[in-house]
């Protein structure tokens, strides 16, 4: 059975075309009916994935090529979801490494490739988007080879097979001159170059859990690869948790993959990827084994989080108005539920019963969790993200990021200067068509709040990507936000007359007719200090009229911050109030006198 199975993962940097390639493979392998309506990026099933055009969760499917069953795992490209990539590499026998024919290898390409090379996998390199204007496939192949050498690939791994493809147009070829109108060369390459799973069907049953999901009909379901033996639906098997404890349980449902669908099967054999129901407490990285001879597989260790923030019960004057779940118990239960499936996340209790310390891989990782929670009806306040320091050999160390920036020449000086103040060290600079690619190693602290500044400085033309590099000795203090904020002094509704007079003081975050409360941040001050203002003051009405004084007021449209921008923007003494309908910025202490008192205590 295992001879007819190939298990592969598709790995790449974000936006290099993984999910689009999966779409093309599904269509050309006959998974869809001829008259079936097909949505673009069919694997991006989550609402947030569709909206942002990124993959957040790794997902399984299978395609049939002749007598061969190819199990494919689509993985996220963002470094923040690296935990998803790390664990699924344990259940595949090879990877398709997708590289953009224009961009070449990017930071996340380095991260996922290193993980797969360390596990001894032999990648197939797919140079994608060869139809893109300005593409340079031969040059990119050399860059990929250099990257393999840099990551200490062995000789077998260095002799990687190459396929040139356009996932969007659904064709692949062995050589650029070949010409092709389908993905058959890619399917043939998988058939010939990917080894069948190295397993023993006669040995006692062993399955490593690499994914957990919840099905409203059958409860908690676990997905993984059967490393040895075979298993039947209804069979009693042993569950070995990460502490080595063994409990027996019965498999209530055994599911295999046919295309995108999970189908119920009676029996599964070593080498296949299956989903099992019947174990409510089963966790990722744990083993299901034969009840007679329970032997655990090595536990999958995941890189530790690098960033943390506090989730707290909202104590704002508007608390409970827009949210359905507002208590500490609600927030705690939801975070504990997230821990079951989100392997890179950590949740800790603090001295305050209303505050939880949540640690993750990066700002995007945590902001996706917050966005999901607010869509489910949660209301809470969150603090500024902070990096997690570690003590290594008696020295305080901090996480460093490998940052790649593509920027037009006229803006590169400004960008280098800005990054210099954030303790970044330049590693290399490569001229490209019209732009330069500059690579840095920068403290993770230095990247907090940089994206918005970067987009402003480059007039939206720059592209930045980063991934975790290593822990290195502490680099010293980094200057925070330069500007103060405009803080509302009174509760009420903002009035155009007041906002018009405040425009000259800075940038406004709200327009007229918005409810505010004391201590709420309504804009950015043009100077370094915070300024308390009244945005609810109306015009004094008299029966005297003067020419010119009653002209229509022209308000500059407010700058509305997204959730990620708000998290980047706030300072240590500020919070983001998140509700299903609103994102508000506020001071941690709403009363002006209390803020002064706290400042004096700090000094």
Confidence at 44, pLDDT banded by 50, 70, 90:
very low
Does position 413 have pLDDT exceeding 80, yes or no?
yes
219 and 119 in a single domain? The answer is no
d(CA 352, CA 471): 30
d(CA 358, CA 364): 13
Is residue 146 situated within a structural domain? Answer: yes
88 and 237 in a single domain? The answer is no
Does position 284 have pLDDT exceeding 80, yes or no?
no
Does position 50 have pLDDT exceeding 50, yes or no?
no
Q: Domain boundary residue among 246, 265, 290?
A: 290
SS (H, E, C) 533-591: ECCCCCCCCCCCCCCCCCCCCCCCCCCCCCHHHHHHHCCCCEEEEECCCCEEEEECCCC
d(CA 303, CA 297): 19
What is the average pLDDT across 64-89?
68
Out of 282-286, 560-564, 575-579, least confident range: 282-286
The tokens of 302 are what? 């995941």
Q: Render pLDDT for 118-140 as a digit per residue (tens, 0 to 9).
A: 888 888 888 888 888 878 888 88
Is residue 264 situated within a structural domain? Answer: yes
6 and 140 in a single domain? The answer is yes
Query: How much of the chain, in percent, has pLDDT values that exceed 90?
Result: 3
Q: Domain boundary residue among 193, 221, 240?
A: 193
- When comparing pLDDT for 309 and 25, which is higher? 309
User: Computed from CA positions of residues 154, 155, 156, 162, in that sequence, does the dihedral angle turn out positive or negative?
Assistant: positive
169 and 69 in a single domain? The answer is yes
Does position 522 have pLDDT exceeding 50, yes or no?
yes
Q: Render pLDDT for 295-349 as a digit per residue (tens, 0 to 9).
A: 888 776 666 788 899 999 988 888 888 888 888 899 999 998 888 777 778 888 8
587 DSSP β-pair partners: 574
Residue numbers in the known binding site are 15-20, 128-131
Q: Domain boundary residue among 166, 193, 220?
A: 193
Distances from the Cα of 145 to the Cαs of 105, 121, 160, 329, in angstroms?
A: 10, 16, 9, 52
Does position 49 have pLDDT exceeding 50, yes or no?
no
Q: Render pLDDT for 170-212 as a digit per residue (tens, 0 to 9).
A: 888 888 777 778 888 888 888 888 888 777 778 888 888 877 7
Is residue 569 situated within a structural domain? Answer: no
Is residue 96 situated within a structural domain? Answer: yes
Does position 56 have pLDDT exceeding 60, yes or no?
no
What is the average pLDDT across 232-239?
84
- When comparing pLDDT for 255 and 77, which is higher? 255
Residue numbers in the known binding site for GTP are 15-20, 128-131
Out of 26-35, 289-298, 422-431, least confident range: 26-35
d(CA 68, CA 194): 12
What is the average pLDDT across 518-527?
90
53 and 174 in a single domain? The answer is yes
Mean pLDDT of all residues belonging to the chain: 80
**Residues 407/397, Cβ–Cβ less than 8 Å:** no
d(CA 497, CA 336): 47
Query: How much of the chain, in percent, has pLDDT values that exceed 70?
Result: 88
Q: Which domain holds residue 469?
A: 390-473
The closest alpha carbon to 340, from 279, 250, 291, belongs to 279
Does position 377 have pLDDT exceeding 60, yes or no?
yes
282 and 431 in a single domain? The answer is no
Is residue 328 situated within a structural domain? Answer: no
- Biggest CA–CA distance in the chain, Å, is 98
Distances from the Cα of 245 to the Cαs of 131, 220, 242, 248, 288, in angstroms?
A: 54, 20, 8, 10, 12
The closest alpha carbon to 531, from 504, 568, 566, belongs to 504
**Residues 302/87, Cβ–Cβ less than 8 Å:** yes
**Residues 91/6, Cβ–Cβ less than 8 Å:** no
Out of 54-58, 134-138, 223-227, 468-472, least confident range: 54-58
The closest alpha carbon to 350, from 391, 311, 390, belongs to 311
CA atoms within 13 Å, Cβ hemisphere of 569: 25
Is residue 542 situated within a structural domain? Answer: no
226 and 170 in a single domain? The answer is no
What is the average pLDDT across 280-292?
80
Does position 583 have pLDDT exceeding 80, yes or no?
yes
Q: Render pLDDT for 455-511 as a digit per residue (tens, 0 to 9).
A: 878 887 887 877 777 888 988 888 777 888 898 888 889 888 888 888 888 888 988
172 and 247 in a single domain? The answer is no
- 409-421 and 450-457 are packed helices; what angle lies between their axes, rounded to 10 degrees? 150
Does position 596 have pLDDT exceeding 80, yes or no?
yes
Q: What total number of domains does the chain contain?
A: 3
186 and 62 in a single domain? The answer is yes
Does position 104 have pLDDT exceeding 70, yes or no?
yes
pLDDT of the residue at 292 = 85
pLDDT of the residue at 42 = 41
pLDDT of the residue at 381 = 92
User: Domain containing 443 — which CATH number?
Assistant: 3.30.70.240
Does position 237 have pLDDT exceeding 60, yes or no?
yes
pLDDT of the residue at 52 = 46
Does position 421 have pLDDT exceeding 80, yes or no?
yes
Is residue 347 situated within a structural domain? Answer: no
Spell out the residues 6+ positions from residue 207 whose beta carbon is closer than 8 angstroms to its own.
224, 225, 226, 227, 231, 274, 276, 287, 288, 289
User: Domain containing 280 — which CATH number?
Assistant: 2.40.30.10
d(CA 516, CA 518): 7
The tokens of 21 are what? 């390639």
Confidence at 36, pLDDT banded by 50, 70, 90:
very low
59 and 156 in a single domain? The answer is yes
129 and 258 in a single domain? The answer is no
pLDDT of the residue at 302 = 66
- 107-118 and 137-150 are packed helices; what angle lies between their axes, rounded to 10 degrees? 50
Is residue 417 situated within a structural domain? Answer: yes
Does position 581 have pLDDT exceeding 80, yes or no?
yes
CA angle 445, 486, 480 (to 5 degrees): 15
Backbone angles phi, psi at 580, to 5 degrees: -60, -25
User: Domain containing 31 — which CATH number?
Assistant: 3.40.50.300
149 and 218 in a single domain? The answer is no
Strands (E), 245-385: 246-250, 253-258, 261-264, 267-269, 273-277, 287-290, 307-312, 346-349, 355-360, 380-383
């Amino acid at each position: 059975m295992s001879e007819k199975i190939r298990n592969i993962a598709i790995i790449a940097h974000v936006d290099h075309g993984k999910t689009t390639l999966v779409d093309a493979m599904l269509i050309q392998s006959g998974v869809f009916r001829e008259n079936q309506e097909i949505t673009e990026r069919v694997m991006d099933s989550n609402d947030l994935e569709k909206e942002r055009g990124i993959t957040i969760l790794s997902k399984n499917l299978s395609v049939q090529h002749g007598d061969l069953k190819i199990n494919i795992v689509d993985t996220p490209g963002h470094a923040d979801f690296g935990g998803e990539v790390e664990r699924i590499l344990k259940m595949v026998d090879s990877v398709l490494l997708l590289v953009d024919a224009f961009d070449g290898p990017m930071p996340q390409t380095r991260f996922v490739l290193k993980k797969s090379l360390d596990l001894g996998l032999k990648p197939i390199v797919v140079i994608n988007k060869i139809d893109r204007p300005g593409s340079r496939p031969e040059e990119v192949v050399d860059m990929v080879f250099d990257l393999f050498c840099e990551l200490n690939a062995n000789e077998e791994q260095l002799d990687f097979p190459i396929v040139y493809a356009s996932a969007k147009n659904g064709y692949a070829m062995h050589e650029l001159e070949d010409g092709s109108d389908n993905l058959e060369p890619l399917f043939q390459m998988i058939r010939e170059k990917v080894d069948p799973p190295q397993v023993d069907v006669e040995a006692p049953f062993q399955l490593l859990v690499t994914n957990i999901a919840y099905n409203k009909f059958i409860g908690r379901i676990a997905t993984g690869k059967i490393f040895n033996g075979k298993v039947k639906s209804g069979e009693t098997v042993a569950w070995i948790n990460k502490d080595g404890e063994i409990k027996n349980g019965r498999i209530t449902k055994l599911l295999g993959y046919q295309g995108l669908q999970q189908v119920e099967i009676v029996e599964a054999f070593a080498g296949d990827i299956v989903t099992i129901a019947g174990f409510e407490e089963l966790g990722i990285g744990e083993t299901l084994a034969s009840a007679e001879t329970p032997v655990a597989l090595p536990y999958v260790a995941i890189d530790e989080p690098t960033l943390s923030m506090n989730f707290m019960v909202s104590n704002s004057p508007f608390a409970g108005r827009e949210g359905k779940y507002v208590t500490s118990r609600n927030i705690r239960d939801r975070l504990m539920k997230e821990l079951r499936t989100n392997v890179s996340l950590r949740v800790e209790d603090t001295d305050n019963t209303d505050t939880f310390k949540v640690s993750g891989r990066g700002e995007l990782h945590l902001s996706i969790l917050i966005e999901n929670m607010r869509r489910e009806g949660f209301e809470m306040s969150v603090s500024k993200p902070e990096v997690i320091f570690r003590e290594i050999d008696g020295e305080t160390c901090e996480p460093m990021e490998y940052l790649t920036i593509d920027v037009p020449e006229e803006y590169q000086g400004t960008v280098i200067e800005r990054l210099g103040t954030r303790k970044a060290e330049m590693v290399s600079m490569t001229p490209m068509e019209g732009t330069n690619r500059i690579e840095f190693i920068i403290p993770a602290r230095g990247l907090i709040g940089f994206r918005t500044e970067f987009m402003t400085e480059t007039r939206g033309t720059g592209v930045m990507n980063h991934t975790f590099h290593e822990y290195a000795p502490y680099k010293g203090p980094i200057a925070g936000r330069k500007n103060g904020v405009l803080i509302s002094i009174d509760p009420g509704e903002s009035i155009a007359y007041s906002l018009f007079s405040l425009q000259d003081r800075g940038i406004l975050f709200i327009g007229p007719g918005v409810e505010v409360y004391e201590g709420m941040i309504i804009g950015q001050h043009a100077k370094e200090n915070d300024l308390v203002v009244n945005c609810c003051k109306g015009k004094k009405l008299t029966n005297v009229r003067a020419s010119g004084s009653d002209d229509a007021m022209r308000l500059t449209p407010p700058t509305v911050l997204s959730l990620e921008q708000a998290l980047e923007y706030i300072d240590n003494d500020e919070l983001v109030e998140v509700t299903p309908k609103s994102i508000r910025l506020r001071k941690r202490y709403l009363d002006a006198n209390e803020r002064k008192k706290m400042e004096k205590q700090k000094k």
